Structures are given as structure tokens and as C-alpha cells.
Structure 1
């Protein structure tokens, strides 16, 4: 069985490694937005496909039996391209989507639908911003000259970006003690994050809660309807195993 994993997440890497260890042929596709990505076991390709039609052609050409969309919740249009491509190539599709974060007692969350909305509400919430939305959308905050930003990303950001900004190049997982120290060291008074749902980056939410800080949470974009979904790597493995069984063998 040849499995194509649309990756870029911790779950995608773990899934590829588990499939590879079981003897399946697995190819992980990465978008190429990170300069030095953590590569999973198995085959790896980097770069886009050229839309849904290009992905469908790749599925046929490489005789892919199963397509798994394990991209980041904010990866954009790739999930819709995957759904269309799977339908065109007649390949079973599974979405591996980790659950979003849920507020608990003591959280002061302000949910918005976009980076632009986050930038709109920020001036009313604080002046020293811990911005953890990645390097790709900093243009949305470039006009906020009255605010100071601590920006954390894997790779250095490119302009346009806020004029008053310090960049912290780092990659999760992060610890609660480390996040507490960052908030205190930089006198942060508001946090901005996407609802990525990752355990590796959730300590910042606990640190903000302890410090009584408001948190601007950007909600996830819509995803295709009607696609089977797993929330854990284990669930995805069970689904793939079911596809590989011969009918009637149990």
C-alpha cells in the first residue's frame, strides 16, 4: 500500500514513521515553507502540486492507494485541493486533525476570525504583544506603530512587519517554565495565537492564564465537509489498517 501524507505537523511525522515501521510505503509531502524541516522516515517530497488537478495527477502517476491530509489547521487551501484530488483520482482520503484548544476557568480569550481582526482588537487589549502566529502574516500587524511585538517563528520573517519588534527564532515543544519566563522578561501584556491545538505550544496559554493576560485566539478556517476525520495518529492507523484488510477476513 502506498500512502501519501500531506504533512508539516508533528502528527504527520509520527504517522509516517508508524506506517514506515509497519512496512508500508509512505511518502510525506511538505510545502517547503520551513528552511530546515524535521523530516520523517520514508520518502519525502517538497513543494506544491499545482492545485487539485496536479495533486490528482500525482496520485495516479505514483499509484497512491491512500491520501491522508495531516497538514496544519491553518494551511489554507490544501485541504480543499486534497478533497477534490482524491475524488478525481478515486483515492480514499482521511483528514488527521488534532482538536482545537478549549478555554478553561481563568482564561481571558478574545476569539477572532482572521489576522486582520486580531490586529484590530489588539490596541484595546495591550501594548506589549507576544505574537505566535508565525512569520507569514506579519503584514497584518505592520501598521500598529504604537505596539511592541515579540515575534516567535522557526525562520526569520521578511517585511512588511511591525517596526517595533524583536524576533525569537525557536521551535516547539515549549515548557511552561520557559513561557512564564518569556512573558516576565519582556513584560508582555497580551498574547496572540492561532488555534493550532498542539500540545507542544499550549504552555503559552497556561502561562498567560496564570499571569491574567488577555489572549487573542484566531479561529480555524473552514475545511471540506464529508471527509472522514481522525483526531489522533492511532485513529488514523486503525483507519488505514481497515482499508488494507481483505473483505471477509476480519
Structure 2
């Protein structure tokens, strides 16, 4: 199957796992760990059994990195409580954006405190545009609403789209165990994006861990998921 834009999520992910973060900044996963240890990158958030780096926190940290030729007077900034204060994150991003952008005619931030970015190549500007977010007039509540709406649209569209290669591979791995069989994440790996897609199609269910109820402990391939796999054999 060839990759097509319609088969992949069009809304930017709000969080990155270790491998995705490494790929996005062009380093190895081991280097990511080192950068976290030295304070160059923020530590991940933990959700159930997963460690997730929030995009806005990574963006704010990278905006404070020195540009080539700058003298670094102090060591890496390690006050990540600062980064997790939404107002301070927005102010830091706006200050950095103003320093390296040309127009003084644009304000630092809009009505909701979000930075005004005019550069179309900026990930922040692209994120705004894809969500339909207007930093001039909208606030944090609008941002959260637009993110929920975009995610709901993405999930609703999945059943009508072709299965991706990762979905097909995951189905094959789950099908080895048969339908309605609890399979641990150690027995077969399923990434969060693929998991969401298969659940949206009704092909997969998740169940909490017995030891840690707030974590996903088991995956179960549904009858519909097994039939889909069999139809492709």
C-alpha cells in the first residue's frame, strides 16, 4: 500500500515518545536521555506506562538554546517547573520569537497570551493554522476546544480510510493469539497512534493492568479485527 496523506493523521501530535522526539531533533534516543539528564531537554510526563514529552515544553526549551555564535554564560536551564507554567511558557516563546523575527509591527502576544508568529515555516504557525487557531483573538480555552474537536474529527474519519502498514502489522501480531484473548504489551508492541486507529475501527480493546489499574495492561483483538485480518490472508 502506498502512503497517502488521507491515510495519516493530519493534526499534529501534542506529545512525543522518546523515539519520535529523537527523530524530530535529529539525535539518537540515547542522546535524548543525556540531554534530559543535563537539563537541555525537559523530562517527560508519565501517562500510565508511557513517557511522553509535551510538544510545547520541548519547543519552549529549544527556543532558549543559544544560536550558533552566541556565548552561553550559564549552564542549561533546568527549572522545568517554569516550563510547565503555561503563562511563562507563552511569554518565553513570545520573547524568543520577537528577538529573531523581523517585524516590530506585530505584538508579542495576542489576546490570549499566545505568541504571534508570521513565519509560515514555523512549527507553531503551522500548528495554529491546522487547528484553525487565531492567536490574535483566541485564548487557552479556545486552543483546548480546537484540539479536542480536531482529535474527534480525526478519530471519526479513521473507519473510512485504508488501514496503514502499521495497523496491518499490528493486526497480524494480535491475530497470532486469536480473537478475545488478552495479550500483554510485552508480548506484542502497539504504538499509541496505531492503538487509537485500531480502537476507532472497533478492531482492538484495551484493559487496565491488574497491578496498576491506571495503566493499560492488556490488548484484546476483537472478532471484527480478527475477521479483517483473515480477509487479507
**The TM-score by the shorter chain falls in which range?**
under 0.3
State which structure, 1 or 2, has the greater radius of gyration over its C-alpha atoms: 2
Which structure has greater strand proportion? 1
Q: Which has the larger helix fraction?
A: 2
TM-score (norm 1): 0.22
